[in-house]
């Protein structure tokens, strides 16, 4: 039936603006997902949760053009195999595998290989459900992972990782190649799994923002804001206007810092060390201003329930304004240098192409999605304050290659500089925080923030003792990692580091 028929049963969802919630049976879940796909909705995330009465729910979130729906499907019989939705939303495949590893639910269409477990716990142990794991099962030797084999004349495999030559997080990439041309790439992640979702349940709900800020270090403002947005919606607290604008200031500074770092690294991967030197200098300049204004180079303790931990004074505002003004001038100069550099054009143009049709099919999101014609930015499409007032300009390209992703980064960094200047000009006076209490046990909230990489989502459930019953953070890397496997096809192996960096996805934010 049309999605609007399902939504006629929906109720407003506490937390992010534009969200609704609907309760259905597990037998209705796939039908709703089919209708959501037909209506052009995107799958945001899928996770499992157990309520205060011990009933297990399969929860999922779908986003439309200007709205979203959180779906709760009761799993009536434990152990029942659930109809999967990976044929409708390919990104669901790894999410379903993670649910099986963590909560024990199984899906009819799911890949049976473990995704997060890596032999760290027995197949019978469910970290988000069972209290303790038998000691004898903890040291289980992991089974050999069955990578998909590509067979043919001249085909050979190149395994890379999980331990890499650089100081980076672990991930395994299995290339099937003929000569240097990539026929297939298969990823295996999960090596950085930290047990964050389980750890949340040990914390008071008013303290969970500290852990949320550390889910992914390059998106600390986005995750802590999404957590607080969910909590504040559950508690019915409206934060002061000054706090709203200060949060946006921190988020845009986070966006600028990441784009500066990536633009330098992309230049370096293409053999242009000058770009790395210049953008590293600019990023360091910004991080030092962050340290002075917020007390931290990466602003990981600034967003708190009810507002912000601190405010900024006239001197801090002046320093930020001066820094961003000089950054803007230099970014524009470097944009021209990158555009005119023949070597960069040769390496960027046509590398790692994801055309808009494939991006739509696979659910590519965030800045990588906008470089492939996916004109989605929650700051514009589903804005929370102050973005409805700021009205950011979307950066969108259609080419879908490394060059397009570089162009989107330049345009977003420039736009964020403009937004920071506007925020500082308009920053309201008054308090920067409000008093907030723990929400009622059993209540559910959801937070949605457009981080620099894409949509950051946090679903939060309150326990009756002031604790956290369940917290599910979601990084856009879940959607985008599988797309890199397609982007690498028909490219040469030496171009993979460049292609990979052009997406710059999170291992840590993915392996919760």
* CATH code for position 40: 3.30.460.80
Element (H, E) at 357: helix 356-362
CA–CA distance, 444 with 441 (Å, rounded to integer): 9
pLDDT tens, 177-211? Answer: 999 899 999 999 998 888 999 999 999 999 999 99
- Give the pLDDT band (50/70/90) at residue 382: very high
Domain stops at, among 64, 98, 116: 116
- On whether both 201 and 331 belong to a single domain, the answer is no
Same domain, 315 and 361: yes
Helix (H, G, I), strand (E, B) or coil at 62: strand
Per-residue pLDDT at 138: 56
Last residue of a domain, one of 95, 116, 137: 116
Residues 6+ positions from 357 with CB-CB distance below 8 Å: none
Q: Are residues 186 and 329 in the same domain?
A: no
Q: What is the SS3 string spanning 143-203?
A: CCCCCCCCCCCCEEEEEECCCCCCCCCCCEEEEEEECCEEEEEEEECCCCCCCHHHHHCCC
Lowest mean pLDDT among 105-109, 242-246, 265-269, 402-406: 105-109
Are 355 and 266 part of one and the same domain? yes
Band the pLDDT of 119: cuts 50, 70, 90. confident
Q: What mean pLDDT comes out for the span 201-229?
A: 96
Distance CA 123, CA 112 (A): 11
Domain holding 444, by residue range, is: 194-237+435-474
Assess contact for 462 and 443: CB atoms under 8 A: yes
Evaluate whether residue 382 is within a structural domain. no
Among the listed residues 27, 17, 21, the one whose alpha carbon sits nearest the alpha carbon of residue 6: 21
Which element (helix H / strand E) includes 303? strand 303-304
The larger pLDDT score, comparing residue 362 to residue 121, is at 362
DSSP-based three-state secondary structure for 24:
strand
3-state SS, residue 505: coil
Contacts of residue 361, defined as CB under 8 A and 6 or more positions apart, other chains included, come to 90
Strands (DSSP E) contained in 398-505 are 444-450, 455-462, 468-474
Distance CA 487, CA 412 (A): 22
Residues 201, 468 contacting (CB under 8 angstroms): yes
The number of domains in the chain is 4
Helix axis angle, 496-503 to 477-487, nearest 10°? 160
Split at pLDDT 50, 70, 90, the class of 144 is confident
- φ and ψ of 350, to 5 deg: 85, -5
pLDDT greater than 60 at residue 136: no
Enter the pTM of the model: 0.96
Q: Is residue 368 part of a domain?
A: yes
Q: What is the pLDDT of residue 143?
A: 76
Question: What is the rounded distance in angstroms from the CA atom of residue 446 to the CA atom of residue 444?
Answer: 7
What pLDDT, on a 0 to 100 scale, did the predictor assign at position 334?
Answer: 98
| Rounded mean pLDDT, 49-53 | 82
Tell me the mean pLDDT in the region 358-380.
Answer: 97
Residue 272 domain-assigned?
Answer: yes
Q: Domain for residue 412, yes or no?
A: yes
Distances (CA, A) of 304 to 239, 308, 383: 10, 5, 20
Q: What is the CATH number of the domain that holds 252?
A: 1.10.645.10
- Domain check: are 336 and 362 in the same one? yes
pLDDT at 293: 95
pLDDT at 356 over 90: yes
What's residue 123's pLDDT? 81
User: What is each CA distance from 195 to 51, 215, 221, 479, 481, in whole angstroms?
Assistant: 20, 10, 21, 20, 20
d(CA 371, CA 393): 14
Mean pLDDT of the chain: 93
Residues 6+ apart with CB under 8 A from 288: 297
Same domain, 361 and 297: yes
- What CA–CA distance (Å, rounded) separates 446 from 387? 18
293-343 per-position pLDDT tens digit: 999 999 999 999 999 999 999 999 999 999 999 999 999 999 999 999 999
pLDDT at 500 over 60: yes
92 shares its domain with 222: no
Is the pLDDT at 135 greater than 70, yes or no?
no
Are residues 298 and 417 part of one domain?
yes
Give percent of the chain above pLDDT 90: 82
Residue 145 belongs to some domain of the structure: no
Cα 258 versus chain centre, distance: 14
Based on the fold, state whether residues 272 and 416 are members of the same structural domain.
Answer: yes
Whether 187 and 200 map to the same domain: the answer is no
CB burial of 97-119 (b: ≥16 within 10 Å; e: otherwise) equals bbbbbbbbbebebbeeebbbbbe
Q: Which of 6-15, 266-275, 371-380, 385-394 has the lowest mean pLDDT?
A: 6-15
Q: Looking at 69-73, 77-81, 165-169, 477-481, which range is the least confident one?
A: 77-81
pLDDT above 70: residue 256 = yes
- 137 pLDDT band, cuts 50/70/90, is low
Q: With respect to residue 204, please indicate whether it lies within any of the assigned structural domains.
A: yes
CA–CA separation, 488 and 121 (whole Å)? 33
**What are phi and psi for residue 288, nearest 5 degrees?**
-70, -35
Nearest alpha-carbon partner for 439 in 15, 130, 61, 4: 15
Torsion of CA 427, 431, 437, 439, to 10 degrees: -20
pLDDT band at 78 (very low <50, low <70, confident <90, very high): low
Per-residue pLDDT, 121: 82
Rg for the chain, CA atoms, rounded = 22
Q: Give the lowest-confidence range in 16-25, 77-86, 186-195, 246-255.
A: 77-86
Shared-domain flag, residues 184 and 211: no
418 in the same domain as 309: yes
In a domain, residue 385? The reply is no
Residue 457 falls inside a structural domain: yes
């Amino acid at each position: 039936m049309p999605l609007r028929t399902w939504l006629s049963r929906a109720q407003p969802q506490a937390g992010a603006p534009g969200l609704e919630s609907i309760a259905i049976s597990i037998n209705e879940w796939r039908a709703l997902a089919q209708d959501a796909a037909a209506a052009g909705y995107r799958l945001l995330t899928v996770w499992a949760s157990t309520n205060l009465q011990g009933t297990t729910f399969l929860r999922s979130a779908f986003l439309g053009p200007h709205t979203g729906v959180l779906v709760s499907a009761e799993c009536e019989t434990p152990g029942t195999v659930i109809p999967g939705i990976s044929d409708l939303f390919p990104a669901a495949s790894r999410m379903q595998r993670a649910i099986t590893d963590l909560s024990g639910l199984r899906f009819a269409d799911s890949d049976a290989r473990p995704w997060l477990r890596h032999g760290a716990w027995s197949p019978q142990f469910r970290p988000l459900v069972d209290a303790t794991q038998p000691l004898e099962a903890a040291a289980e030797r992991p089974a050999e992972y069955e990578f998909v084999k590509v067979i043919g004349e001249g085909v050979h495999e190149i395994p890379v990782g999980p331990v890499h030559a650089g100081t980076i997080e672990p991930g395994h990439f299995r290339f099937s190649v003929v000569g240097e041309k990539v026929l297939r790439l298969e990823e295996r992640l999960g090596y950085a799994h930290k047990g964050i979702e389980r750890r949340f349940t040990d914390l008071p709900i008013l303290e969970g923002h500290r852990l949320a800020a550390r889910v992914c270090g390059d998106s600390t403002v986005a995750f802590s804001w999404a957590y607080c947005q969910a909590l504040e919606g559950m508690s019915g607290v409206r934060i002061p206007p000054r706090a709203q604008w200060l949060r946006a200031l921190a988020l845009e500074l986070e966006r600028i810092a990441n784009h500066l770092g990536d633009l330098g690294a992309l230049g370096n991967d293409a053999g242009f060390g000058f770009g790395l030197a210049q953008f590293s200098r600019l990023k360091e300049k910004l991080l030092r201003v962050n340290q002075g204004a917020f007390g931290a180079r990466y602003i990981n303790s600034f967003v708190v329930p009810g507002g912000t931990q601190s405010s900024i004074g006239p001197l801090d505002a002046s320093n930020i304004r001066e820094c961003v003004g000089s950054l803007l001038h230099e970014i524009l100069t470097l944009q021209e240098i990158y555009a005119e550099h023949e070597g960069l054009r040769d390496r960027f143009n046509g590398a790692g192409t994801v055309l808009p049709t494939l991006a739509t099919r696979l659910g590519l999101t965030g800045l990588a999605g906008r470089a492939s014609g996916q004109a989605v930015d929650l700051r514009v499409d589903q804005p929370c304050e102050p973005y409805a007032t700021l009205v950011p300009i979307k950066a969108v390209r259609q080419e879908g290659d490394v060059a397009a992703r570089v162009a989107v980064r330049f345009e977003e960094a420039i736009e964020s500089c403009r937004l920071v200047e506007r925020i500082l000009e308009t920053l309201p006076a008054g308090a920067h925080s409000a008093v907030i209490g723990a929400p009622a046990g059993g209540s559910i909230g959801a937070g949605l923030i457009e981080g620099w990489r894409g949509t950051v989502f946090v679903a939060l459930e309150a326990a009756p003792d002031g604790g956290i019953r369940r917290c599910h953070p979601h990084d856009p890397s879940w959607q985008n990692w599988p797309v890199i496997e397609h982007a690498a096809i028909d490219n040469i192996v030496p171009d993979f580091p460049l292609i990979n960096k052009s997406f710059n996805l999170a291992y840590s934010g993915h392996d919760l």
